[in-house]
Structure 1
Amino acid sequence: MKRATLEPDHLLPAHHLPPPWPGREVQLDGTMTYVRDTPATRPGAEPALYVHGLGGSSQNWTDLAGLLADRLDGQAIDLPGFGRSEPGRRYTIPAFADRVVRWIEHSGRGPVHLFGNSLGGAVTVHVAGLRPDLVRTLTLISPALPFLDPRRSLQGRMLPLLAVPRGERLAAWRLAQIAPEVMAQQVIEACVADATRVSEQRRQEVLEEILIRYEATHYAAAYVRTFRGIVSSFLRAYLPGPGSLWRIAAAVRAPTLVVGGLRDRLVDVRVAPQTARVIPDSRLLMLDGVGHVAQLEVPRLVARAVLGLLTETEFAGIRPDMAG
């Protein structure tokens, strides 16, 4: 593990607030997956894929993907049951990883520069560890790798829900009791350390995403079942066997950037440094005064670290066909 390198800010585009990148519906293995494209702004840009966290969507990557469009030809997907994608059959980390693998294979763009936030971090670690041929570099932002102290996460309050039969019905009822505007504010406060960094445009987009959740009858079940899958993966990580996310992380060979926020309220702040220690070729960036979604809260800082990773791997002579 080493310290992340930050490229100069002037290498990034001027400050801007792009609208959500255009999306499209793609049939994949009999279900619809929603994909947003952030086209590259110059020839020769390399493919990138962005994977969101629990309760998030492809829209979480709008700013970062735009800032990196000079170097990366981006796509961001909605995982099954989230955003605008249809529900899936299973909501486990391996199942989500299978969907990411299938999308990379279906799109024919691999190997890709792979990004994951929170749940998406665990999913992309799974992909990078088991399918190194599909990954050029890996960027993890507050990855939800295993920790066992529920006091370290606001999500710990949901644990009793997992013991309730048909807990998703209770979750759906609870969702219906909260006004969308209130829910949007709660989401922002949980995910970022400084809410003033979130523009009015982004707040309205969060609200629009929440309205979609209210209309999707499958959303509560997808959320609860995914949370159950995360907890299950955390418990398995400390038991013998090949399914441990920590063992899979140790098998990652792609050059990796790990970003953590020191005011993360959803993932134990000790997880990002631990992840960087476990992944062999890693560099770590811990951000003071930043929460769970650094790509939303301080996208330019994250983009500078990503450029540092890309420059370093190019300088080291790591070709796409050698990555992983």
Structure 2
Amino acid sequence: MSSTELPETRSAAASPASRIRTVRVADGEELRSVALPGLTLTVRARPGDRPGLPPALYVHGLGGSSLNWSTLMPLLADTVDGEAVDLPGFGDSPPPDDGNYSVTGHARAVIRLLDAGGRGPVHLFGNSLGGAVATRVAAVRPDLVRTLTLISPALPELRAQRGAWPTALLALPGIAPLFSRLTRDWTAEQRVRGV
């Protein structure tokens, strides 16, 4: 057993269409396949003993799968009714028909899953790429998100804030010595105001 496998996992087929591949399923988890127009998603769930808990959806990062959440899901099982999705083309979910692997494409898949299941608003968890996807879902469809929890989110689409530009300019060759010469006679108060 590798160091990345959970000791209490077993292999199981996720759906008849994927009998060739097997997926890891931790004790107490169930897999189901959700067919939506243009894509099919594999969803991992931990059916709880307490009905009426608020729903949660976990979204994995790049190169991951819903299995990434198998350790956290039981820890929150008394608080939320958790499900984890395999994004299109990851885990046991086949690639999307349109071949769109962008953050927007994945967000669209999550939104379609939530709309189809009628589980919203959910506590939405996202890690890495899943954090970027979850952020996009929350921005586009805030009605589907109760809370947003981001774990090391990959947010590559953020543009540099205008206030950070002077700091970035200091990285250019020759700018730092020039700035030092220009501010050499500044008082401590002027330096603080300049920052």
State the TM-score, normalized to the length of structure 2: 0.65
Change (3 A) 1:58 1:51: same
Q: Deviations over 1:82-111 (max 9, x none)?
A: 000010220110110000000000011110
2:149 is paired with a residue of what secondary structure? strand
Larger Rg: 2
1:49 paired residue number: 57
Q: Which has the higher strand share?
A: 2
1:113 is paired with a residue of what secondary structure? strand
Q: 1:59 is matched with which residue: 49, 67, 70?
A: 67
Change (3 A) 1:74 1:30: same
Q: 1:26 Cα shift? A: 1.5
2 CA distance for matches of 1:32 and 1:128? Answer: 22
Q: Deviations over 1:53-108 (max 9, x none)?
A: 00000000001111111111111110011000010220110110000000000011
Q: 1:77 is matched with which residue: 82, 85, 89?
A: 85
Q: Deviations over 1:98-156 (max 9, x none)?
A: 0000000001111000000000000000111121100001111110113xxxxxxxxxx
Q: 1:30 Cα shift? A: 3.3
1:211 paired residue number: none
Q: 1:42 Cα shift? A: 1.5
2:41 is paired with a residue of what secondary structure? strand
Question: 2:47 aligned with 1:39, yes or no?
Answer: yes
Q: 1:238 is matched with which residue: 156, 159, 170?
A: 159
Within 5 Å, give how 1:96-135 maps onto structure 2.
96-135=106-145
- Partners of 1:18 and 1:66 within 8 A in 2: no
Root mean square deviation of aligned Cα: 1.9
1:129 is paired with a residue of what secondary structure? helix
**Relative contact order (C-alpha < 8 Å, sep 6+): which is higher?**
1
2 CA distance for matches of 1:61 and 1:110? Answer: 19
Amino acid of the structure 2 residue aligned with 1:238:
R
Q: Which has the higher helix share?
A: 1
Q: Deviations over 1:258-294 (max 9, x none)?
A: xxxxxxxxxxxxxxxxxxxxxxxxxxxxxxxxxxxxx
2 CA distance for matches of 1:104 and 1:41? Answer: 22
Residue identity (%): 57
Amino acid of the structure 2 residue aligned with 1:83:
G
1:27 paired residue number: 35
Aligned residues: 136
Change (3 A) 1:94 1:239: farther
Q: 1:40 Cα shift? A: 2.0
Q: 2:148 is matched with which residue: 138, 142, 152?
A: 138
1:99 is paired with a residue of what secondary structure? helix
1 CA distance for matches of 2:51 and 2:40? Answer: 30
2 CA distance for matches of 1:135 and 1:127? Answer: 8
The unaligned stretches of length 5 or more in structure 1 are 1-15, 147-232, 241-324
